[in-house]
């Protein structure tokens, strides 16, 4: 199986030993504590599950700036984005060597992790601006990722962590949330050797389904991991339980047995386009995928990124040898009326726009909310039914 990034073995930060876990929870009740941001909580969950291996905790400011500028920390570790625990107030932490990090997304703010405090630093406006510009390629506060990153506070608390809970993800999505450790184990149990991963924060329509089949066929893969985001999205996005149901129905009906896994991970979307694409590839290698599909405007939002910036960054900016996972570079896929099947648009040069079945997201949402199924060339009817039921429930 493919090795994790930067090491021979995955290094999850979750405390699995039940006795030690109990001891730490008891200790946490006596420690100074702070409710962290949703973004920091997502980072802790990802470190707990081994997705961010070999990262040992939250970065110091110098390491975060290195990750933003060159995707490399001060000690040479490759990581494509800053992983910071930013707070608005640290008065309660003064002089503390160990602190409890509390979950902002669960009622009662239970302890999420314990940190050994290495430093508490003030992040300057210039440093925030530099990281924002390099990671998001814009300082526009209308960009949801920029707004979330800059809205956390200016005190960076850094140090290694021990993770004690997977926030609401494990409780709310017991059939879907999986750690990188669990996915690696299931890949081994299934006997897969070449595995392609597909990222989604949306339901999968026919074009997405066929893109996965194309990638598996062309790469000679014996397994597909559909890996959906379960964390916070932007307003208007379809909730995770609805996406989960729609995707599971598609896999049940249109993929051969033992060829596809439906899984999810706990993280807040950054909408950082190219940089987030590299992060996605990073943790897909850690979960055992040998290949990763990146299509048009991967992890983007609005018009902040070029259509294929998330592909070219791997050739132009990712340090050579940093990742072993291979990128399957895809174009927009759509049903061709000429050929009677889904194709990548760049592979049909004799087509005009009118030769494809293309529907905007706005148009699809309007149809679904009106109880009108999109054409079968766009969406499987069984998937459309689940989405129509959801939109009808909003009325």
Four-residue CA torsion sign, 268, 274, 280, 282: negative
- CATH of residue 100's domain is 3.10.400.10
In the predicted model, is pLDDT for residue 244 greater than 80? yes
Percent of the chain having pLDDT more than 70?
99
Dihedral sign computed on CA atoms, order 242, 243, 248, 253: positive
CATH number at residue 236: 3.40.50.620
Largest CA distance in the chain: 70
pLDDT band at 192 (very low <50, low <70, confident <90, very high): very high
Together in a domain, 164 and 221 = no
**Banded model confidence at residue 361, pLDDT cuts 50, 70, 90:** confident
Residue 54: cis peptide before it, omega within 30 degrees of 0: yes
Counting the structural domains of the chain, the total is 2
Assigned domain for 225 exists? yes
Last residue within a domain, chosen from 138, 170, 202: 170
- Which of these, 387, 363, 342, 392, lies nearest to 249 by C-alpha position? 387
Sign of torsion over alpha carbons 362, 364, 367, 368 = negative
Question: What value does the mean pLDDT of the chain take?
Answer: 95
Residue 2 lies in a domain: no
Residues 106 and 72 in one domain: yes
**Separation between Cα atoms, residue 84 and residue 161, nearest integer Å:** 12
Query: Which pLDDT belongs to residue 365?
Result: 87
pLDDT > 90: percent of the chain: 90
Instruction: Please state, in angstroms and rounded to a whole number, the distance separating the CA atoms of residues 341 and 214.
Output: 12
Q: Does the structure show a pLDDT above 90 at 231?
A: no
Q: What angle do CA 378, 196, 348 make, to 5 degrees?
A: 45
Confidence of residue 343 (pLDDT cuts 50, 70, 90): very high
Does pLDDT of 395 surpass 80? Answer: no
Closest CA to 160 of 201, 99, 229: 99
CB distance 58 to 118 below 8 Å: no
Positions annotated as catalytic residues are 201-202
Looking at the structure, tell me whether residues 180 and 263 fall in a common domain.
Answer: yes
| Confidence (pTM) | 0.95
Which tens digits make up the pLDDT trace of 94-116?
Answer: 999 999 999 999 999 999 999 99
Phi then psi for residue 120, to 5 deg, are: -125, 115
Q: Where among 170, 191, 221 does a domain terminate?
A: 170
Do the Cβ atoms of 156 and 86 come closer than 8 Å?
Answer: yes
Q: Are 230 and 46 in contact (CB under 8 A)?
A: no
Task: Calculate Rg over the CA atoms of the chain.
Answer: 21
Whether residue 254 is found in the same domain as residue 133: no
Containing structural domain, residue 39: 18-170
- Does residue 236 register a pLDDT over 80? no
Angle, alpha carbons 88-91-93 (nearest 5°): 100
Answer with the one of 118, 149, 170 that is the final residue of a domain. 170
pLDDT of 144-164, one tens digit each?
A: 999 999 999 999 999 999 999
Strand-strand pairing, 195-200 and 291-294: parallel
Give 395 or 74, the one with higher predicted confidence: 74
Whether residues 78 and 202 fall in one domain: no
At 233, is the pLDDT very low, low, confident or very high (cuts 50, 70, 90)?
Answer: low
Q: Distance between CA atoms of 246 and 52, rounded to whole angstroms?
A: 28
pLDDT for 218 equals: 98
Say if residues 103 and 41 touch (Cβ distance below 8 Å).
yes
Residues 116 and 221 in one domain: no
């Amino acid at each position: 199986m493919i090795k994790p990034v930067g090491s021979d073995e995955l290094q999850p930060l979750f405390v699995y030993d039940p006795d030690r876990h109990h001891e730490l929870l008891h200790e946490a009740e006596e420690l100074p504590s702070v409710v962290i941001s949703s973004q920091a909580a997502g980072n802790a969950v990802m470190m707990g599950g081994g997705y961010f291996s070999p990262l040992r905790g939250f970065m110091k400011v110098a390491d975060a700036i290195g990750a933003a500028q060159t995707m490399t920390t001060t000690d040479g570790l490759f990581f494509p984005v800053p992983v910071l625990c930013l707070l608005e107030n640290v008065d309660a932490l003064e002089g503390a060597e160990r602190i409890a990090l509390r979950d902002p997304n669960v009622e009662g703010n239970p302890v999420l992790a314990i940190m050994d405090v290495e430093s508490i630093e003030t992040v300057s406006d210039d440093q925030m601006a530099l990281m924002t510009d390099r990671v998001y390629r814009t300082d526009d506060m209308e960009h949801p990722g920029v707004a979330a990153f800059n809205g956390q506070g200016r005190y960076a608390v850094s140090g290694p962590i021990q993770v004690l809970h997977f926030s609401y993800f494990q409780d709310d999505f017991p059939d879907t949330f999986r750690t990188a450790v669990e996915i690696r184990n299931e890949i081994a149990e299934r006997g897969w050797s070449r595995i392609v991963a597909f990222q989604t924060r949306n339901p999968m329509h026919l074009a997405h389904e066929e893109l996965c089949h194309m990638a598996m066929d062309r790469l000679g893969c014996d397994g597909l991991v559909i890996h959906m985001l379960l964390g916070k999205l932007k307003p208007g996005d379809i909730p995770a339980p609805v996406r989960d149901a729609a995707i599971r129905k598609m896999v049940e009906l249109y993929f051969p047995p033992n060829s596809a896994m439906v899984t999810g991970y706990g993280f807040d979307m950054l909408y950082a386009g190219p940089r987030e694409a590299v992060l996605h590839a990073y943790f897909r290698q850690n979960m055992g995928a040998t290949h990763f599909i990146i299509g048009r405007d991967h992890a983007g939002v609005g018009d902040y990124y070029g259509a294929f910036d998330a592909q070219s960054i791997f050739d132009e900016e990712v340090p050579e040898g940093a990742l072993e996972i291979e990128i399957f570079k895809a174009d927009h896929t759509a049903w061709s009326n000429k050929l009677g099947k889904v194709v990548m648009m760049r592979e049909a040069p004799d087509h005009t726009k009118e030769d494809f079945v293309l529907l905007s997201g706005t148009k699809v949402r309007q149809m679904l909310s009106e109880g009108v199924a999109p054409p079968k060339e766009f969406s499987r009817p069984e998937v459309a039914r689940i989405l129509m039921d959801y939109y009808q429930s909003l009325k």
